[in-house]
């Protein structure tokens, strides 16, 4: 039986109560905090793991949660939660068993189960009520603010990742091999504070959330991440619509004015931002190489699925079958440099589209299982919107952002483990036993 959801606003408690909750949630917060530690390796695409300290902390979180359950200190998952969170295991295991190289697929099995099953379930069991939800949510915001501050400093001092010949791309502590890391973290933070600002909490809390939103907007722009921009705009737009059409119109005008001031008036990366936005739709009309590579790998993933439509080519199979299915337009890799790292060529090991990655490696069965689990979470979160605007807007926004971003990204890199925490928060709201105030 899952913990009941109470009705107080998504705002911090008193200092003593806050400290008590932080201690109880320390395994989850440790995963978030350790993402400030610079990663030592590259961002492997697809099912590749990075072995970061945050990944180790996520394993500790699962172990602690298991001990609590066995000792009776935590309530087990409801039957619905177990089915929804366990559904991806079917496709994962079937893809590994039917793979041409089952042994090579085993690391992929461990990574998928970690990210999409074990860690989200552990977060679901650790978060007890809405105030616990608030602590973790503000933890995401804190991480985003620190990473964003590092990213802005990188842009201003020319010490970021290389972009168009200049070391100005904001990547935070993730380095040039995981350029999506900071963009993902900042986007999560921006979606969280948008949900809080649109909620029904105290005015002081909503004001603080608005200030944080303004601060996080800058590093998101300076990340030059097209996928993160699109996902953030759509996710925040959905949050606005859920909060009411009138409020949505007013906030949209304010956000537009802020964008004009920061980008148009102050000139924060304006020329490069315009070029980056324009490149999104440039597929045939002189696209840049990154766009060409992305669509070429998407086509290759489609060919892999066509060859094995039911179970796919096997976990971690995309790199092995890439060259035999990709056209000559695909480059050998992407250039990475800056942010304290020397120039290097990073191999393209995934299609940078989670749905196509799962379809190519796990087939239609794997895709239906994984996407079915995510859609069940989304439906559950939307159905409970009237039971608490604050948590509902945050959970729905985070989950919506992730599902949209999956059209432009997949798992891989140090920030992937944070995705599992976000899925756990969404699962708590969607699958917990909710009661009205």
Q: What is the pLDDT of residues 109-134, one digit of tens each?
A: 999 999 999 999 999 999 988 889 99
Per-residue pLDDT tens over the stretch 34-84: 999 986 544 454 444 457 899 999 999 999 999 988 887 666 888 999 999
pLDDT at 23: 85
DSSP string for 383-422: HTGGG-HHHHHHHHHHHHHHHHHTTT--S-STTHHHHHHH
The pTM of this model reads: 0.88
| Joined tokens for residue 265 | 């008036």
* Greatest alpha-carbon span in the chain: 62
Between the alpha carbon of residue 23 and those of residues 2, 33, 36, 54, 126, the distances in Å are 21, 14, 19, 18, 11
User: In sequence order, which residues have a C-beta less than 8 Å from that of residue 187 and are 6 or more positions away?
Assistant: 220, 228, 231, 232, 235, 401, 405
Instruction: Give the DSSP H/E element, type plus range, for residue 135.
Output: helix 130-157
pLDDT at 402: 96
Instruction: Give the DSSP H/E element, type plus range, for residue 182.
Output: helix 179-197
Instruction: Give the DSSP H/E element, type plus range, for residue 59.
Output: helix 53-70
pLDDT at 5: 46
Cα(17)–Cα(395) distance, integer angstroms: 23
Cα(376)–Cα(434) distance, integer angstroms: 16
Q: 188 and 139 in contact (C-beta within 8 Å)?
A: no
Q: What phi, psi does 338 have (nearest 5°)? A: 85, 180
Q: 211 and 237 in contact (C-beta within 8 Å)?
A: no
Q: 44 and 108 in contact (C-beta within 8 Å)?
A: no
| Joined tokens for residue 353 | 């589209």
Cα(370)–Cα(164) distance, integer angstroms: 37
Cα(210)–Cα(229) distance, integer angstroms: 18
Q: Are strands 341-346 and 166-169 parallel, antiparallel or unpaired?
A: unpaired
Q: Which residues of the chain have pLDDT under 70?
A: 1-14, 39-50, 73-75, 248, 251, 255-256, 258-288, 329, 331-345, 388, 433-437
Angle in degrees, 0-180, between the axes of helices 389-405 and 130-157, rounded to the nearest 10: 50
Burial class of residue 358 (count of CB atoms within 10 Å of its CB; 0-12, 13-18, 19+): buried
The closest of 89, 115, 91 to 368, measured between CA atoms, is: 91
Q: 423 and 113 in contact (C-beta within 8 Å)?
A: no
Q: 417 and 52 in contact (C-beta within 8 Å)?
A: yes
pLDDT at 192: 96
| Joined tokens for residue 251 | 């906030």
Q: 397 and 236 in contact (C-beta within 8 Å)?
A: yes
| Joined tokens for residue 14 | 């008193």
Burial class of residue 297 (count of CB atoms within 10 Å of its CB; 0-12, 13-18, 19+): buried
Q: How far does Cα 312 stand from its chain's mean position?
A: 24
pLDDT at 4: 45
């Amino acid at each position: 039986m899952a913990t009941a959801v109470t009705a107080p606003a998504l705002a911090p408690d008193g200092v003593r109560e806050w400290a008590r909750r932080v201690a109880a949630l320390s395994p989850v917060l440790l995963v978030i905090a350790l993402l400030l530690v610079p990663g030592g390796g590259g961002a492997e695409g697809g099912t590749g793991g990075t072995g970061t300290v945050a990944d180790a902390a996520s394993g500790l979180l699962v172990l602690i949660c298991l001990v609590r359950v066995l000792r009776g200190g935590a309530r087990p998952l409801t039957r619905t939660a177990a089915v929804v969170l366990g559904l991806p295991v079917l496709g994962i295991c079937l893809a590994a068993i039917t793979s041409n190289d089952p042994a090579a697929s085993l690391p992929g099995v461990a990574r998928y189960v970690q990210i999409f099953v074990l860690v989200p379930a552990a977060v679901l069991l650790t978060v007890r009520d809405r105030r616990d939800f608030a602590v973790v949510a503000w933890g995401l915001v804190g991480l985003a603010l620190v990473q964003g501050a590092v990213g802005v400093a990188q842009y201003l001092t020319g010490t970021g990742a290389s972009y168009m010949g200049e070391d100005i791309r904001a990547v935070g502590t993730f380095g040039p091999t995981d350029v999506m890391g900071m963009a993902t973290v900042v986007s999560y933070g921006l979606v969280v504070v948008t949900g809080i600002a649109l909620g029904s909490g105290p005015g002081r809390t909503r004001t603080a959330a608005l200030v944080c939103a303004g601060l996080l907007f800058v590093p998101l722009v300076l990340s030059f991440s097209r996928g993160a921009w699109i996902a953030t705009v759509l996710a925040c737009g959905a949050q606005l619509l859920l909060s009411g059409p009138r409020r949505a119109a007013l906030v949209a005008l304010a956000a537009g004015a802020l964008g004009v001031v920061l980008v148009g008036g102050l000139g924060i990366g304006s020329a490069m931002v315009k070029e980056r936005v324009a490149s999104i739709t440039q597929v045939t009309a002189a696209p840049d190489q990154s766009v060409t590579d992305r669509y070429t790998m998407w086509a290759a993933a489609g060919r892999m699925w066509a060859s094995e439509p039911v179970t796919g080519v096997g976990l971690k199979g995309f790199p092995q079958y890439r060259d035999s299915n990709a056209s000559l337009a695909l480059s050998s890799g992407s250039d990475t440099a800056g942010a304290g790292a020397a120039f290097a060529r990073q191999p393209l090991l995934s299609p940078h589209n989670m749905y196509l990655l799962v379809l190519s490696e796990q087939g239609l069965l794997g895709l239906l299982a994984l996407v079915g689990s995510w859609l069940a979470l989304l439906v559950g979160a939307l159905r409970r919107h009237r039971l608490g605007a604050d948590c509902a807007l945050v959970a729905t926004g985070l989950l919506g952002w992730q599902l949209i971003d999956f059209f432009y990204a997949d798992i891989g890199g140090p920030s992937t483990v944070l995705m599992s925490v976000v899925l756990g928060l969404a699962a708590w709201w969607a699958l917990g036993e909710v009661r009205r105030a």
